[in-house]
Structure 1
Amino acid sequence: MKKLMSGNEALARGAYEAGVKVATGYPGTPSSEILENIVQYPEIYAEWSTNEKTATEAAIGAAYAGRRALTTMKQVGMNVAADAFFFSVYTGMRAGLLIVVADDAGMFSSQNEQDNRHYAPFAKMPMVEPSDSQEAKDFVKIALEMSEEWDVPVLYRTCMRVAHSASPVELGERVWDDEKIPEKWVRNQEKYVSSAMWAKKKRPMIEERLEKLVEVSNNISINRLEWGDRKLGIIASGPVYHYAREIYPEASFLKLGMTYPLPKRLIQELADGVDEVIVIEELDPFIEQQVKAMGIKCRGKEIFPPYDELLTGKIERCMAEVGLLPWEKVAEQRDVTPKNLPNRPPVLCPGCPHRSTFFNLSRMKDVIIVSDIGCYNLGALAPFHATDFMGSMGAGFGVSHGFEIGGIQKTGQKVLGIVGDSTFFHNGVTPLLNMVHNGSNVTLMVLDNHTTAMTGHQDHPGVEHTLEGKGTRVDIEKLVRAMGVEQIRVADAFDVNDVNGAIKEALAQEGLSFIIVKGPCFFVGNNKKPAFKVDLSLCNGCGICFKVGCPPISRSNEIHEKTKLRKSQIDPVLCVGCGICSQVCPQKAIKRIDA
């Protein structure tokens, strides 16, 4: 039976069919839907872990226990997880293990662009890359079997276009005895205790394994030569293969599904059989450099840029610029973006609990606002323009400490570090401990909206549910107090004055001060209330209400007689009744509809 599935849905189905028993991860676009689809299969234990390193360690432990396992993350999550999966290359496992990463070429939802294929040679582990949904499913079983045969985790690298594009998938059945109990663990320190004296012995074996995996890559069915016209041979993997196939249906291709180690014999065979070799790959010249290292002449990044996505139109234009495609064949209709389209910047949703915080911060002087990853990063944009920094998860705390020990307060500026509740648990606890221990003199803030909102409202340790049901909630205030922070203030996110008072009070204190701004995300709380309206007889068009950045508020056509400014209006369909705008209106012109 066939079913239309996205790559993420298909990967989840592949985990089910291949007998995966444990799946862990941390949410992040474009990987989030993998675990969210795995949870529908009761045979698989699924968990949103505290961060990617924790998720990877849990999956490694499950594989040690004898259960097939995988862990999922977005591209930057690999940087967090790396410490864990590197050692597992040395120890091996008792069952198959996949490290699944979804890269984000073009930075659609990431703070940086990185090519995680480099982690395969860096960690010395094999790697597979699906090009469509069918392969996304099928490669799970192939990679798990490879992992078990060669006693090594396999890097399963996908990307945004595969993750979120849908294509038909031939479904199979789960071939696994779920009632079978794992074999009893037998202590084997030389294998599983990764201390230097034993790891050093394994080092030559790891290189020998990689050499043997080259032959696997030469013979595996997911790497194949497709002979066509002998003038041009193209090496490609992932979705780029399909783009190139569409442009050059007559060319010869080496289609790669296993991209590390590369199939050297197949590459040489292609090079010997065609006049010219072109490597088409997104981001870094990962394949190209290895082909050139074999002494084979090829072109790649001298034609295509080493950044952003390589979609069909871009490949066509790049090929035409170097004479590999006639300009008249370049399909201009591929550029479907309307010309002169006005910018539509992202905004906080109606009813967002972060709105009062950034309204207040935008009005403060001589305060450096060190922000972090999450919905609250929108505080950097109009109308707030309230933050000075955003880098990586947890850096809102860690970098704020750096500002302080760097002496920035000698300029008369204070420092305020911000993280969200999910980010706090992910990587905010460690820098907080560091700041407590070293006597930091900054103000820290957790914006607690009771969810991991930006990636799709997944759970975290601060809520009472998990992917599989009820969990144990960790209280942020109690945890922070237990870590040694004495000056803690809790504020209501939907009370503008309460938030303002908490910030001013904390900034005025000496030593480490801590603010928790509590208020549920509209999509997880019972927040819908009667909408607000503008009393046009009171509104003078001052525009203060626009400074809260709420989408339902706009200018009306009515002009105030004295100020000559257009008065405000509120769309009752979009308004969710949070009341922030009514609190900041100096004319008291914004009132609840039922009032």
Structure 2
Amino acid sequence: MAEKVIMLGNEAFARGAYEAGCKVSSAYPGTPSTEISEYIVQYDEIYSEWAPNEKVALEVAIGASISGVRALSSMKHVGLNVASDPLFTVAYAGVTGGLVIIVADDPGLYSSQNEQDTRAVARAAKVPVLEPSDSHEAKEFVKFAFELSEKYDTPVIVRSTTRLSHSQGMVELNDRIEVEDKPYVRDFAKNVMMPSNAKGRHLVVESRDLALIKDGGSFPINKVEYNDKKIGIITSGIPYQYVKEALPEASVLKLGIVNPLPKSLIEEFASKVETLYIVEELDPIIEEQVKSWGIEAIGKDILTIQGEYSANLLRRAINGEKVVVAPAVQLPNRPPILCPGCPHRSVYSVLNKLKIHGAGDIGCYTLGAVAPLSVLDTTICMGASISSLHGMEKAKGKDFVKNWVAIIGDSTFMHTGINSLINMVYNKATGTVMILDNSTTGMTGHQDHSATGKTLKGEETYCVDMAALCKAVGVNHVYVVNAFDTKELEKVVKEATAMDEIAVIIAQAPCVLLDKTSIKTQYYVDISVCKKCGMCLKPGCPAITKQESGDIVINDTMCNGCGLCMTLCKFNSIKPVQTQ
């Protein structure tokens, strides 16, 4: 009897790749998809790596597929934007070994800058999409995706969401299938996507779509449940769970393939129910197509296009109540904050003091936009801090950016910041770039990257020297500063922003969560000396609080010993604990 275990959705995706005989996995960390690779690395049969960005990751997987093995690339929804160039083209070229792309969307915007729907991207790219609804299906759908990929000569996307990736369910473990490598055959017309070849491959793609539409209705990943035929619901993914909880007596068509849609199966189901509802989170991808076939259905006219759904939301909507995204009870606001001892807080305290504007980027340091630090004015996407600052200068002149800096993390700089910096050099810019180097990919859970010196498997490797890299692309003024040396940092920022040349400041200090044992010193406030001026409160460290009495205290369970508060105190009232 097969062993059954409880798994996270992301763990189940990894298990599916293992059982399917996948041999290569490449990814860039991005919540909610990150843990897929962190579970895959446990399987030695799969070569797994962190790539510098999603485009590179997908291209690595494509190369592995072309050579004849099953390959996987995983990413979050905005990461698919970065990988869209190879995605749209490999849809034409097709595969040799199965090629699966797991993409995790984020309904509800728990950790993302937008709420885009991967199904819309896949429709444009003409790539099939499978959508599991629990951990068991997450594993099985990945296995089925590899089979479809090879049968229909196409990359296949398996779509997840935050709720699926980070929820647990029962999974039955099976043995790994050792798939024989397919021989590499040189095929100029198939694998070289120059215009003359792409024209022919476009015809193949259209024929493939028709075949998938025809065959999709018989795929075992679809499920038809006829109960009370007064109400029929078409749904997929996690919303299926809400439907079953809210309307257990309704008839349900649960789609496993959501692009292209199995038209005949949907038409048959619709013909057997009195009132048809379509329940899908985010965009009306299924609804618009079904209605275009002349089928009457109720969807976004009663359901929201924003955020996650729930069983309660469905009950209210189908009962005719108004559905809103906001919760019924407004809880106290609890905004995210930088950790106690975070080196970013030290950098931002200096920039705040100097009244510097920050063109921001994606990472923990994005929190520098909120009070009391309030430094970042913009956040767009990975690598955009440098490019947008460059655009500001070219639009308004170099004097406009004298009190601006582009702020980017070390992992994000390696992701897409390098090209932006090259563009600044090439186009004779004069702005200042700050790389906040905390030696990790912090926001997604402390993954390594090409400038940390370790691979996904924890093996030592070459560590990119970012200072040397910046000089190599033509930056003459590169400063490397300890992020907690506020005096030196202030001096360097003033010098860099004043000059009429490009400058890069690398503010270095490891993320405090990388090694908690490194905390040797904590601090306390000597109340007898404290003037209660509040300077130590300005950076907003959660370890420091002001009591009702007016006394300022440091919580020793939270203090990570960075010493920033001590450097800000002009009265020497903040002291190391060991001197107490």
* Superposition TM-score, scaled by structure 2 size: 0.96
Contact 2:357–2:375 under 8 Å retained in 1: no
Q: Hey, what's the Cα distance between the residues in 2 that align with 1:183 and 1:257?
A: 28
Q: Hey, what's the Cα distance between the residues in 1 that align with 2:418 and 2:400?
A: 28
Q: Hey, what's the Cα distance between the residues in 1 that align with 2:293 and 2:401?
A: 59
Q: Hey, what's the Cα distance between the residues in 2 that align with 1:216 and 1:380?
A: 50
Q: Hey, what's the Cα distance between the residues in 2 that align with 1:338 and 1:273?
A: 36
Partner of 1:452: 441
Partner of 1:473: 463
Partner of 1:296: 295
Partner of 1:59: 61
- The residue type equivalent to 1:531 in the other structure is Q
Higher mean alpha-carbon deviation, 456-465 vs 408-417, is at: 408-417
Contact 1:416–1:444 under 8 Å retained in 2: yes
Q: Hey, what's the Cα distance between the residues in 1 that align with 2:286 and 2:454?
A: 43
Contact 1:383–1:546 under 8 Å retained in 2: no
Please state whether the residue corresponding to 1:187 is helix, strand or coil.
Answer: coil
Partner of 2:100: 98
Tell me which of 483, 497, 515 is aligned to 1:493: 483
Q: 1:460-479: per-residue Cα shift (whole Å, max 9, x none)?
A: 11011111222210000000
Q: 1:308-351: per-residue Cα shift (whole Å, max 9, x none)?
A: 1111122222222269xxxxxx9xxxx9x895532221111111
Contact 1:50–1:425 under 8 Å retained in 2: yes
- The residue type equivalent to 1:309 in the other structure is E
Where do 1:15-26 residues align within 5 Å?
15-26=17-28
- The residue type equivalent to 1:353 in the other structure is P
Tell me which of 27, 34, 37 is aligned to 1:35: 37
| Deviation of the 1:184 alpha carbon | 4.8
Q: 1:322 to 1:569 in 2, by over 3 A?
A: closer
Where do 1:312-391 residues align within 5 Å?
312-321=311-320, 339=329, 341-365=331-355, 367-391=356-380
Percentage of matched positions with identical amino acids = 46
Partner of 2:552: 568
Higher mean alpha-carbon deviation, 127-136 vs 401-410, is at: 401-410
Contact 1:490–1:502 under 8 Å retained in 2: no
Q: Hey, what's the Cα distance between the residues in 1 that align with 2:49 and 2:330?
A: 45
C-alpha RMSD of matched pairs (Å): 1.6
Q: 1:117 to 1:30 in 2, by over 3 A?
A: same
Please state whether the residue corresponding to 1:350 is helix, strand or coil.
Answer: coil
Partner of 1:144: 146
The number of equivalent residue pairs is 573
| Deviation of the 1:409 alpha carbon | 4.4
| Deviation of the 1:368 alpha carbon | 2.8
Q: 1:230-286: per-residue Cα shift (whole Å, max 9, x none)?
A: 111100000101111111111111110111111111111111111111000001100
Contact 1:70–1:98 under 8 Å retained in 2: yes
Q: Is 1:547 aligned to 2:547, yes or no?
A: no
Tell me which of 40, 64, 78 is aligned to 2:80: 78
| Deviation of the 1:415 alpha carbon | 2.5
Q: 1:161-194: per-residue Cα shift (whole Å, max 9, x none)?
A: 11111011111111116xx6x4553321111101
Partner of 2:390: 401
Partner of 2:513: 523
| Unpaired segments ≥5 residues, structure 2 | none
Partner of 1:310: 309
- The residue type equivalent to 1:28 in the other structure is G
Q: Hey, what's the Cα distance between the residues in 2 that align with 1:339 and 1:439?
A: 53
Partner of 1:561: none
| Deviation of the 1:222 alpha carbon | 1.0
- The residue type equivalent to 1:86 in the other structure is F
Q: Is 1:589 aligned to 2:578, yes or no?
A: no
Partner of 2:472: 482
Please state whether the residue corresponding to 1:98 is helix, strand or coil.
Answer: strand
Q: Hey, what's the Cα distance between the residues in 1 that align with 2:20 and 2:338?
A: 41
Contact 1:231–1:251 under 8 Å retained in 2: yes
Q: Hey, what's the Cα distance between the residues in 1 that align with 2:342 and 2:20?
A: 41
Please state whether the residue corresponding to 1:206 is helix, strand or coil.
Answer: helix
Tell me which of 401, 404, 422 is aligned to 1:433: 422
Partner of 1:327: none
- The residue type equivalent to 1:593 in the other structure is V
Please state whether the residue corresponding to 2:343 is helix, strand or coil.
Answer: coil
Q: Hey, what's the Cα distance between the residues in 1 that align with 2:284 and 2:329?
A: 32
| Deviation of the 1:567 alpha carbon | 2.3
Partner of 1:563: none
Please state whether the residue corresponding to 2:541 is helix, strand or coil.
Answer: coil
Q: Hey, what's the Cα distance between the residues in 1 that align with 2:119 and 2:416?
A: 25
Q: Hey, what's the Cα distance between the residues in 2 that align with 1:190 and 1:111?
A: 39
Higher mean alpha-carbon deviation, 527-536 vs 235-244, is at: 527-536
Q: Is 1:190 aligned to 2:179, yes or no?
A: no
Q: Hey, what's the Cα distance between the residues in 1 that align with 2:177 and 2:282?
A: 37
Q: Is 1:536 aligned to 2:527, yes or no?
A: yes
Partner of 1:504: 494
Q: 1:281-321: per-residue Cα shift (whole Å, max 9, x none)?
A: 00110000110111101110001011111111222222222
Contact 1:288–1:300 under 8 Å retained in 2: yes
Q: Hey, what's the Cα distance between the residues in 1 that align with 2:532 and 2:332?
A: 25
Q: Hey, what's the Cα distance between the residues in 2 that align with 1:262 and 1:541?
A: 66
Partner of 1:326: none
Higher mean alpha-carbon deviation, 402-411 vs 356-365, is at: 402-411
Q: Hey, what's the Cα distance between the residues in 2 that align with 1:57 and 1:239?
A: 29
Partner of 1:206: 205
Q: Hey, what's the Cα distance between the residues in 1 that align with 2:138 and 2:238?
A: 11
Contact 2:453–2:460 under 8 Å retained in 1: yes
- The residue type equivalent to 1:33 in the other structure is E
- The residue type equivalent to 1:103 in the other structure is D
Contact 2:27–2:74 under 8 Å retained in 1: yes
| Deviation of the 1:414 alpha carbon | 3.0
| Deviation of the 1:408 alpha carbon | 5.2
- The residue type equivalent to 2:531 in the other structure is N
Contact 1:100–1:156 under 8 Å retained in 2: yes
Contact 1:225–1:266 under 8 Å retained in 2: no
Q: Hey, what's the Cα distance between the residues in 2 that align with 1:72 and 1:589?
A: 50
Partner of 2:125: 123
Q: Hey, what's the Cα distance between the residues in 2 that align with 1:347 and 1:282?
A: 29
Contact 1:540–1:567 under 8 Å retained in 2: no
| Deviation of the 1:528 alpha carbon | 0.9
Please state whether the residue corresponding to 2:353 is helix, strand or coil.
Answer: coil
Q: Hey, what's the Cα distance between the residues in 1 that align with 2:164 and 2:425?
A: 44
Contact 1:292–1:298 under 8 Å retained in 2: yes
Higher mean alpha-carbon deviation, 282-291 vs 113-122, is at: 113-122
Higher mean alpha-carbon deviation, 126-135 vs 246-255, is at: 246-255
Higher mean alpha-carbon deviation, 512-521 vs 199-208, is at: 199-208
Q: Hey, what's the Cα distance between the residues in 2 that align with 1:286 and 1:405?
A: 40
Contact 1:90–1:202 under 8 Å retained in 2: yes
Q: Hey, what's the Cα distance between the residues in 2 that align with 1:406 and 1:588?
A: 46
Q: 1:170 to 1:446 in 2, by over 3 A?
A: same
* Superposition TM-score, scaled by structure 1 size: 0.94
Contact 1:529–1:578 under 8 Å retained in 2: no
Higher mean alpha-carbon deviation, 543-552 vs 104-113, is at: 543-552
Contact 2:135–2:169 under 8 Å retained in 1: yes
Partner of 2:244: 245
Q: 1:350-370: per-residue Cα shift (whole Å, max 9, x none)?
A: 1111111100111223x4310
Contact 2:73–2:101 under 8 Å retained in 1: yes
